[in-house]
Structure 1
Amino acid sequence: MSVTTFAPATYYAAVVQRLTETCPNYLQPIDVPQLYSNGGTPGGVQCGLCQHSMDIMSATVLDPQPEVC
């Protein structure tokens, strides 16, 4: 199930992509296996080619959550 509201202190599996036509990754879905939501705000994902922020297209809560030491 994809989420639109992020819970604080929670890890998600996400799919991100760039929505800017000038980026080589334009509309290319990229899997992010662990995306952390700190205080209900997901961490940013940066494009490795154009160095700009990527847009989160979908996210699913990881179950079980990773253990943090």
Structure 2
Amino acid sequence: MDYRSYEQRLAYILELLEKGRFGSLDAAAIRFCVSTRTVKRMLNHLRENGHQIVYDRSANKYFLKKDE
């Protein structure tokens, strides 16, 4: 995966999180043809860049936490 496609995937993940349509790690891994560990690393990369990404166990989904 080159840097450009990695950045495009990060932008797409962020868009899905903003819309509340990200779903599970498994679904994202299948969509991007990568491992679930790679998706976790991508989420951590977004967190390091200041995005507040949280996991809701009851919904089994990741969300972008909105500032209140």
- Give the TM interval when normalised to the shorter protein: under 0.3
Structure with larger Rg: 1
| Greater helix content | 2
Q: Does 1 or 2 have the higher relative contact order (CA < 8 Å, sep 6+)?
A: 1
Question: Structure 2 length as normaliser, TM-score?
Answer: 0.27
